[in-house]
Structure 1
Amino acid sequence: MNALLSDWTTPFGLPPFDLIRDEDFGPAVDAALEEARANIKAIAENPEAPTFQNTIAALETADKRLSQALSAFWAVAGADSNDARQVLEREFAPKLSAYGSEITSNTALFARIDGLWERREALELSPEEMRVLHLTHRGFVRAGARLEGEAAERMKAVKARLAVLGTQFTQNVLADEKEWFMPLSEADLEGLPGFVVAAAKAAGEVKGAGGPVVTLSRSLIVPFLQFSPRRDLRAKAYEAWTARGANGGATDNRAIAAEMLALREERARLLGFASFADWKLETEMARNPANVKDLLMQVWQPARDAAERDAAVLERMLREDGFAGPLEPWDWRYYSEKRRAAEHDLDEAGLKPFFQLDRMIEASFAVASRLFRLEFRELPDAPRYHPDVRIWEVTRHGAHVAVFLGDYFARPGKRSGAWCSAMRQQSRLDGEVRPLVVNVCNFAKAESGPSLLSWDDARTLFHEFGHALHQMLSDVTFESISGTSVARDFVELPSQLYEHWLEVPEVLEDFALHAETGEPMPRDLRERLLAAGTYDMGFQTVEYLASALVDMAFHDGPAPADPMQRQAEVLESIGMPRAIRMRHATPHFAHVFSGDGYSAGYYSYMWSEVMDADAFAAFAEAGNPFDAELARSLEAHILSAGGSEEADVLYTRFRGRMPGVEALLRGRGLVAA
């Protein structure tokens, strides 16, 4: 019996991972696709006149079984991949693309939707129903429902090819990350703090290397670059890290990126848009590429100026160490860490014991409890896809709200980075459905004792939990507008806003407890940590902005035949500091090339930051980071509302107005306070 196709009787409807075998996924997806196609056919050929219920609402649940099967598959495909699952990803990509194209090119189905849209004012719909009708109609049109003949067939082919290429791009990056490691001798470990040595030894055991190694896991390579005094080893590790997807051979992504950009441009032009960016931004808060570039360039110059000032200081330190210079990208983190230790009396090795993973999880829960009255109960016996995964039931006043899964540790087969996804989204169209929400991170797992986080790791944990709250607190009828189903340049608002509560002094007092002594972080250390909040912000802003500007340049205008050349041209035109590189170089820019999610959309982190800086300022103005009235307003107008209205409407309801860029610049320390 295929567990993926049965009704799950597990706690809270979690996928029965203990009963699911890799060989179950293919037959389950095929059967679910057949069922979904039959449901779509029944909707399109319904002899009754189209109504909201028999057409739009029916579409919402037409592929329920398919979503169930895929929810379990995508969880393991990203966070616990293996050869069999990678083969399935490649098989599913064209199948799912074809299914999506069949729906949007179904002329009978679109005729029903179009007819409802034309007479929408006479349908007496609720505001939420009107919103779903609008988004459904717009989605069909933007997918090519009005195309005919050769144009329609070409659109299907373009989307199918893009799906295949996106999967291949992702798997190539993962392959490069899994393949590379650098053995370290005992001499190579000199100067490294204990937590880096421990992580290198643990990584060596996983690799079967017979000793410590550096891998391309961010949780290991970044602290190695921060602390290793061996400039030659830093250079070797850094170049390998930034060369992912560009090593030649079967895993090289440069040709894939070029083909994807050309196909995206063709897709946009088939729909009558001047560029892919124009098509993509039509539905975002930014509206058009000019507005995006205006925001990014408002921040670029002050960020670049700050980075150049910092580079001059770091290069002097390099020369004092006997190197002729110039400062190289593999030098920046090392000398910046030394400078931070000197100027702020802070060092990562001294800070890490105060950021135990378990305490930071508790901190994220405690903040949610104070703001939104949520409670968390761990479920040790619930089914999970990997032993590292932890699961909690989330309640409020005793009532079930959601199930939250936390998958925190780096391991082979897990995609790099951090993300939030929902194995099931909130809705109540077909009865009350509560969400199953997953946070995935890549923190280093301790061999023994508590696992320790860096300050940046702790911020990542809070960031992803902010996304999770957006899913968990959703309160809408239709899944298509539930949780994080919002404009891409709005979706990062809840996550980036939640990061601010990690910096609240009383949160650090209660949860930043030393791993060995149990003592809270001393007040003077906490104050130095918070005072250094904008330290190195020129570097961080420049590396991010460079990636965002390259992404926009790729998609705003004709697709470049050689993306690497276009990347170089953009970086030269903006005056990229030589000692800083893009946060994500094109061959491993998964945000942009693993799918369409952040394509022409990487800017959205900064667009959202304009709002998150302004939104947290509301709590500062109230004089209380846990102001109950503001928390209720935040939940009502942002976290529970999903995509039920336009993002600017929702934000204005919370704040009373839209923000400017000033709060962002102040928050990053790029202008005088």
Structure 2
Amino acid sequence: MSDTSQSSPVVSGSGTDNPLLMPWRTPFQAPPFGEIAPDHFLPAFERAFIDHAAEIAAIAHDPSAPDFANTITALERCGRLLAKVSAVFYNLVSAHSNPALLEIDKDVSSRMARHWNPILMNAVLFGRVAQLHENRATLGLTAEQSRLLERTYTRFHRAGAGLDETAKARMATINERLADLGTTFGHHLLGDEQEWFLELGEDDMDGLPDSFVAAARAAAEERALPGKAIVTTSRSSVETFLKSSRRRDLREKVYKAFTARGDNGNANDNNAAIVEILALREEAARLLGYPAFAAYRLEDSMAKTPEAARGLLERVWTPARARALADRDALQGLIAEEGGNFTLAPWDWRYYAEKLRQIRADFDDAAIKPYLTLEGMIAAAFDCAHRLFGLTFSERKDIPVWHPDVRVFEVKDEAGAHRALFYGDYFARASKRSGAWMTSLRDQQTLDGEIAPLVVNVCNFAKGADGQPALLSPDDARTLFHEFGHGLHGMLSNVTYPSLSGTSVFTDFVELPSQLYEHWQEQPQVLRQFARHYQTGEPPPDDLLERFLAARQFNQGFATVEFVASALMDLEFHSQPAAAIRDVRAFERATMGKIGMPAEIAMRHRPTQFGHIFSGDHYAAGYYSYMWSEVMDADAFGAFEETGDIFDPETARRLHDDIYSSGGSRDPEEAYIAFRGRGPKPEALLRRRGLL
């Protein structure tokens, strides 16, 4: 089934010199990262492609009449080597890349598309799946099997398995080109992020907290600049600098570099890639019978239509924009009071917002940051998981890792049985792409015995220097809990079939477990226990804690506007005719003008750095999902609040059974109602953000 006529080498059957092709004799069969070199990957992928193609051919040409076991279950058992090699490879490409891996990624991305195209468009194979789907009511399937059959049929159908041969050939070409473009987009973004930094002299430190300076020195050390201090384009570095630096000229430099990533007219420019990606996505959607890519993408989601997604965003946009404009006027007034003779600019907003927060709420982030150590917040995340779900975490030093900073924890359930391995890769470095994410090196399943997951959290926090602990901003602490919530979705998964495991759910549902978990991070009883001053070990004084919690809704107009603008931009990109988008900057300006974007606020992700939607398509036409899920998470935490106990055992049991452990084995709306007893109420989101 795969194209085996390409130039990559075919490995021998034994694979005795390639650790990717050998059994892993490490604890829990974890990847032996220390033994894996870049030149192992292409031979391993080649072998995996050949093995998978043979497995698929055996199913498609099985002379027996199709049944669930010989078709759907057989598909679930296919491609295990490919999944194993891919998980290790893409983890390294994202979290610890090097030039050799990035070159291999360019080759593998197109080869992966060429491998999957003939599988997902195989008419004989789809015929077997379609026959089972048509007769599904007579097959005596369990609920999970019914869900798997439905998802398998949908996957083949949406990939174009029902198209004629001419359309299939064109779809295959489109898919291969999109794979190349998505990889190129990501490489360009990483290139701009690696190339830019701002070196700080002693005169450039005015206003910067000691913790930031320590992190800036550690970042310089990471880039082989000992004794220096630098600002990088890591969000943690940029946002802290913009909040703290009294040097307006430097704030402008940092802000412009951050928002110009991928848009500098250099070898890393992403504008042309965006134009081609949008045109190809539209063409693919039309081949499948949809008027636009957004209509295609959202049909297979909770939202169902672009209009539903846009409706939620616009409902939030109106009060958020009004709040942001009021805050803008207050910030301009503050500038005037200080004698400033300039108009508020985007690089000023965070700096003056911190001043305004001190005035209105008697609080700034710098006051709480010494209490938010990375160690303390990891312990808090683990403790909440223990109190909710009975999990325990113990650090293991005998598990191979891809970088010395990576830590591994064995996860056990309430009965003391092994549940998972959890990898935490927390610090920013030049070899890591920006942002924060959860992934897995192996998914949970019970199809052929208990397979325990290997779950990964990757963040980009600033490292402490000279033996000092890493200190997190409130946003960083929320990010840690957010990604750990995704991690719990993977660790607590309890399904039979790998395709339904963990986070294999609709994009606008997958953020519910992560965003819901953020709520525990900001609870007073959690902070009193785990927020400890890095020097004294004391908890925050009650008045500081009260001011911190009271200030949570401050600047929510800004935060909501920058997010919703990005989500609306995403929908516009994928709803408007691609022929109308020849100049990405002009389209961006027009779209922002149409929605009334305040000039003093930038989108959270400008197009040329919007990896969520252009470095692959997982969130394409789906960035709204974070807010769709936030409606549910704000409403879901209310179930605990209504009991008077944020760790209420019965509510936690339902949360475990109906949300975290069920993976994609049931319809998400059904899963939510099973947990909450009703559908979510959107007002909960507006209340949480202080926009009601």
Which category describes the TM-score, using the shorter chain as reference length? over 0.9
Deviation at residue 568 of structure 1 after TM alignment: 1.3
CA contact (8 A) 2:380 2:530 kept: yes
The one-letter code matched in structure 1 to 2:268 is: T
Say whether residues 1:55 and 2:76 are aligned partners.
no
What is aligned with 1:554?
573
Say whether residues 1:93 and 2:114 are aligned partners.
no
CA contact (8 A) 1:395 1:402 kept: yes
CA contact (8 A) 2:391 2:411 kept: yes
What is aligned with 1:201?
217
Deviation at residue 319 of structure 1 after TM alignment: 2.5
Say whether residues 1:297 and 2:318 are aligned partners.
no
After TM superposition, the structure 1 stretch with the greater mean CA deviation from structure 2, 527-536 or 318-327, is 318-327
Q: Output one character per residue of 1:308-362: Cα deviation in whole Å (capped at 9) or x when no partner.
A: 1111111112223333221100000111111222322222222111001011100
The one-letter code matched in structure 2 to 1:575 is: G
Q: Give TM-score, length-normalised by structure 2.
A: 0.96
Give percent identity, aligned residues only.
52
CA contact (8 A) 2:319 2:691 kept: yes
CA contact (8 A) 1:554 1:563 kept: no
CA RMSD of aligned residues (A): 1.0
Select 1:566's aligned residue among 587, 590, 593.
587
Say whether residues 1:401 and 2:419 are aligned partners.
yes
What is aligned with 1:436?
454
Deviation at residue 370 of structure 1 after TM alignment: 0.3
Deviation at residue 206 of structure 1 after TM alignment: 2.7
Deviation at residue 96 of structure 1 after TM alignment: 0.7
Say whether residues 1:647 and 2:668 are aligned partners.
yes
CA contact (8 A) 1:274 1:557 kept: no
Say whether residues 1:8 and 2:24 are aligned partners.
yes
CA contact (8 A) 1:450 1:515 kept: yes
Deviation at residue 207 of structure 1 after TM alignment: 2.9
What is aligned with 1:669?
690
Select 1:485's aligned residue among 504, 508, 517.
504
Runs of 4+ in 1 over 6 A off after TM superposition: none
Say whether residues 1:340 and 2:357 are aligned partners.
yes
Select 2:529's aligned residue among 510, 515, 529.
510
Say whether residues 1:411 and 2:411 are aligned partners.
no
What is aligned with 2:293?
276
Deviation at residue 187 of structure 1 after TM alignment: 0.7
What is aligned with 1:611?
632
The one-letter code matched in structure 2 to 1:526 is: L
SS in structure 2 opposite 1:421? strand
The one-letter code matched in structure 2 to 1:229 is: R
Structure 1: distance between partners of 2:223 and 2:401? 24
Say whether residues 1:140 and 2:159 are aligned partners.
no
What is aligned with 1:115?
131
Say whether residues 1:19 and 2:40 are aligned partners.
no
SS in structure 1 opposite 2:35? coil
Structure 2: distance between partners of 1:131 and 1:242? 42
Structure 2: distance between partners of 1:587 and 1:322? 37
Structure 2: distance between partners of 1:399 and 1:183? 50
Q: Output one character per residue of 1:102-141: Cα deviation in whole Å (capped at 9) or x when no partner.
A: 1012122111111111222221111111111111011101
After TM superposition, the structure 1 stretch with the greater mean CA deviation from structure 2, 446-455 or 318-327, is 318-327
Say whether residues 1:76 and 2:92 are aligned partners.
yes
Say whether residues 1:308 and 2:329 are aligned partners.
no
Select 2:407's aligned residue among 385, 390, 401.
390
Deviation at residue 150 of structure 1 after TM alignment: 1.6
CA contact (8 A) 2:27 2:398 kept: no
Where do 5+ consecutive residues of structure 2 fail to align?
Answer: 1-16
Structure 1: distance between partners of 2:44 and 2:120? 23
Structure 2: distance between partners of 1:70 and 1:311? 47
Structure 1: distance between partners of 2:182 and 2:540? 45
What is aligned with 1:631?
652
Select 1:539's aligned residue among 541, 558, 582.
558
Q: Give TM-score, length-normalised by structure 1.
A: 0.99
Deviation at residue 503 of structure 1 after TM alignment: 1.4
The one-letter code matched in structure 2 to 1:600 is: A
SS in structure 2 opposite 1:411? coil
Structure 2: distance between partners of 1:509 and 1:416? 31
Say whether residues 1:368 and 2:385 are aligned partners.
yes
Deviation at residue 439 of structure 1 after TM alignment: 0.3
Q: Output one character per residue of 1:193-232: Cα deviation in whole Å (capped at 9) or x when no partner.
A: 1112112222223334452221111121111111111111
Deviation at residue 505 of structure 1 after TM alignment: 1.1
What is aligned with 1:656?
677
Tell me the number of residue pairs that the alignment of Structure 1 and Structure 2 aligns: 671
Deviation at residue 440 of structure 1 after TM alignment: 0.2
Deviation at residue 562 of structure 1 after TM alignment: 2.5
CA contact (8 A) 1:183 1:212 kept: yes
The one-letter code matched in structure 2 to 1:550 is: M
Structure 1: distance between partners of 2:582 and 2:483? 36
After TM superposition, the structure 1 stretch with the greater mean CA deviation from structure 2, 424-433 or 598-607, is 424-433
What is aligned with 1:421?
439
SS in structure 1 opposite 2:33? coil
CA contact (8 A) 2:380 2:526 kept: yes
Select 2:208's aligned residue among 163, 187, 192.
192
Say whether residues 1:476 and 2:495 are aligned partners.
yes
SS in structure 2 opposite 1:402? strand
SS in structure 1 opposite 2:613? helix
What is aligned with 1:232?
249
SS in structure 2 opposite 1:420? strand
CA contact (8 A) 1:360 1:458 kept: yes
The one-letter code matched in structure 1 to 2:560 is: T
Q: Output one character per residue of 1:290-323: Cα deviation in whole Å (capped at 9) or x when no partner.
A: 1111100101010001001111111112223333
Say whether residues 1:529 and 2:548 are aligned partners.
yes
Deviation at residue 182 of structure 1 after TM alignment: 1.3
CA contact (8 A) 2:382 2:393 kept: yes
CA contact (8 A) 1:195 1:349 kept: no
